[in-house]
Chains A and B, each alone.
Chain A
Amino acid sequence: MVKTVLHVMRWLIMLAVVVIVLLPIVWMVFSSFRIHEEIFKYTTPGWHLFIPKRWTLQNFVDIFLDASRPFGRYMVNTLFVASVVTAAGLWINSMAAFAFAKLRFPQKKTLLALFLSSLVIPYEVIMIPQYMLIRDLGWINTFQALIVPQIVWVFGIFMLVQFFADIPRDILDAGKIDGASWFRIYVRLVLPSGVPALITLGLITFLNQWDAFLWPLIVINDDKKQMIQVAISSFQSLRGISWGKILAATSISSVPIVVVFLFLQRYYVKGITMTGVKG
């Protein structure tokens, strides 16, 4: 008897959490299909608080056609920056990780400690001089301001070091005796064996960049070059913008991410359990 009650309670709690978690997301997606008047009309609990009465795609059409706030452009900008950071980051971080994990060289411990020490510096502490540096370089309002400082990621290096450490040194030495250069060994032997770790790292990097907010907010003020997250958040400071448009923008920029996540869930979760790193 007690057992049944506990069992029922457990399911009720689990379902209640599902409702709490999904309610904002469901409300966001459904409301993006509403006409302007409807959002403020159904202000009593009921189906129509969530399900639109008259469905419309107008909100989506509007945000993409609004020339003063080109939403498609923001998506392309962000996609470009996130892809370049991911590709360059995988390349540069994995090279450093390979050297730390497998190569022998003097002062390795010192260099490793130097890299590690950067982990205690929160980005928020250095954003002011970083901004001034970007300004001195003349990079304000450029994509390199968003890309170059973001490439090296020490957490990522250490994740890969752990992964590469399992590659037996003998294999590398064999390659060496066969006359392959270290660079060739890195490309032909090390990278292929690290593919799962590289996918995980690439996925996390990409999502972090897609979600980036504070840095673009600081270094980009040209509306045409803005990143998607900052662009969306500035939507709502406009007077008289309809909720439907805001929610169309938030829906369309999170749906692709959710879909990607559902497919690559395994890698994403592995990344968390390996390093506990997130944005």
Chain B
Amino acid sequence: MRGRGNRFEKQEARVAFAFILPALLLLVVFVFYPMVRAFIISFQKLHLINPNASFAGIGNYASLLHNQTFLQAMGNSFYFAAVVIPVQTAIALGLALLVQRKFRGVGFFRTVYFLPVVVSFAIAATVFRLIYNKDYGMLNVLLKGMGLAPLDFLSNPDISMIGIIILCIWKAMGFFMIVFLAGLNNIPDALYEAAQVDGANAVQRFFRITLPLLKRTMAFVVIITTMDALKIFVPVYITTSGGPAGSTSTLVHYIYKTAFEQMNMGLAAAAAFLFFAVFVISLVQLRLFRSDVEY
């Protein structure tokens, strides 16, 4: 009997490995191996046109730290994240609160607010680029019509990043609204009723009940927003290609340009690893923030 059980166990283990094997192979070949290779390349002088790689030590990293274009891109990424994380989170939470309670037509509002999430980033960016056009774009036509000064998001380096931020928030706020809605629905109504009986007004209820009980959802939203913000590329590439004067170039945009336009793979891989370091440090920071909110 025992032998038989053992045979079953062995067979089950074999089957399990067979079931996992395809996914594992793909993961090793297309994720882990490239990760190791990226690390190696980052210490090499490697140009795509010239197939011979030579060891460069920390040369790539050292030159990046003096590279104005890279530092500017890094600064832009931080600026983008620093604006988008609080503003977008606040807007998404606001929208969720507006459409949380059931009322006639609530489905309409939820669906409409979510609609930009379904539109692809490339399409949204393509359309916004036309909307932002200084002379014929819808935005400036409307601004001029209201007697306001036109905003030239595409060629004024002082505000170009704001244009990209607006586009990104427009696109993503509905997504995080849905996440907040799920979080809000987990808060028991009884708490609000009790607070109301105790005479708490709406503002007090928000700060004393809603916000503290949303902390886990909030942590989740902030983590995802941070990851997305650091990785921002498509809208930059399409609307401004990093310009004017590098004012909208981001880390990923810098990596892309260095690798696939200048073909400097070694330098780009080093930039990618610095990006990875920023990415991991941000996530670790946020994890701390998360663990201290779990009651």
A124 near B252: Cβ-Cβ < 8 Å: yes
Q: Is the CB of A10 within 8 A of B98?
A: yes
Which residues between 71 and 109 of chain A lie within 8 Å of chain B, taking CB atoms?
92-93, 95-96, 98-100, 103-106, 108
Q: Are A99 and B127 also in contact (CB < 8 A) when A111-B24, A128-B41, A154-B27 are?
A: no
| Chain B contact residues, majority secondary structure | helix
Q: Could you tell me if B276 and A125 are in contact, using CB atoms closer than 8 angstroms?
A: yes
Q: Which one, B29-37, B60-68, B157-165, B192-200, is touching chain A?
A: B29-37
Q: Which of B27, B99, B265, B279 contacts A14 (CB 8 A)?
A: B99
Inter-subunit contact B34/A130 (CB<8 Å) = yes
Across the interface, do A125 and B272 meet the contact criterion of CB distance under 8 Å?
A: yes
Bound Cα distance A246, B283 (Å): 38
Chain B residues, CB < 8 A from A218: 260
Contacts of B120 on A, CB cut-off 8 Å? Answer: 210-211, 213, 229, 253-254, 257
Interface status of B188 (Cβ within 8 A of chain A): no
Contact B38 A246, beta carbon cutoff 8 Å: no
Say yes or no: A233-B111 contact (C-beta < 8 A), given A14-B98, A103-B16, A152-B27.
no
Chain B contacts for A262, CB-based, 8 A: 111
A276 / chain B contacts, CB cutoff of 8 Å: 179, 220, 224
Residue-wise interface mask of A (252-267) relative to B, using a CB-CB cutoff of 8 A (1 in contact, 0 not): 0110011001100100
Per-residue 0/1 for B1-32: is the Cβ within 8 Å of any A Cβ (1 yes, 0 no)? 00000001100110111011011101101111
Chain A residues lying within 8 Å of B227, measured Cβ to Cβ, are 122
* 0/1 string, B221-234, CB within 8 A of A gives 1: 00010010011011
A253 to B31, CA, bound (A): 30
CA distance A106 to B17 in the complex (A): 10
* Interface flags, A212-244, vs B, CB<8A=1, else 0: 011001100000000001101101100000010
| Known contacts A24-B131, A95-B19, A128-B265, A230 near B273 by CB under 8 Å | no
Q: Which residue of chain B lies nearest to A104 when distances are taken between CB atoms in the complex?
A: B12
Among residues of A, the one whose C-beta sits closest to the C-beta of B124 is A24
How far is A211 from B114 in the complex, measured between Cα atoms in Å?
A: 16
Given the known inter-chain contacts A103-B16, A186-B19, A257-B118, please indicate yes or no for A18 contacting B112, CB distance below 8 A.
Answer: yes
Q: Size of chain B's interface in residues, with CB distance under 8 A?
A: 87
Is B244 an interface residue, CB under 8 A from the partner? no
Interface residues in chain B, defined as those with a beta carbon under 8 Å from any beta carbon in chain A? 8-9, 12-13, 15-17, 19-20, 22-24, 26-27, 29-35, 37-38, 41, 95, 98-99, 109, 111-131, 135-136, 138, 141-142, 144-146, 170, 174-175, 178-179, 182, 220, 224, 227, 230-231, 233-234, 237-238, 252, 255-256, 259-260, 265, 268-269, 272-273, 275-276, 279-280, 283
9 additional contacts (CB under 8 A) given A103-B13, A236-B126, A276-B179 = A28-B127, A96-B20, A99-B17, A121-B31, A152-B23, A152-B26, A230-B122, A233-B126, A273-B179
What are 26 contact pairs spanning A and B, CB under 8 A?
Answer: A18-B112, A21-B116, A98-B19, A105-B12, A105-B16, A114-B27, A120-B280, A121-B276, A122-B231, A124-B272, A127-B259, A127-B272, A128-B34, A128-B41, A128-B259, A129-B41, A152-B26, A152-B30, A211-B122, A218-B260, A230-B122, A233-B237, A236-B238, A246-B126, A247-B127, A269-B114
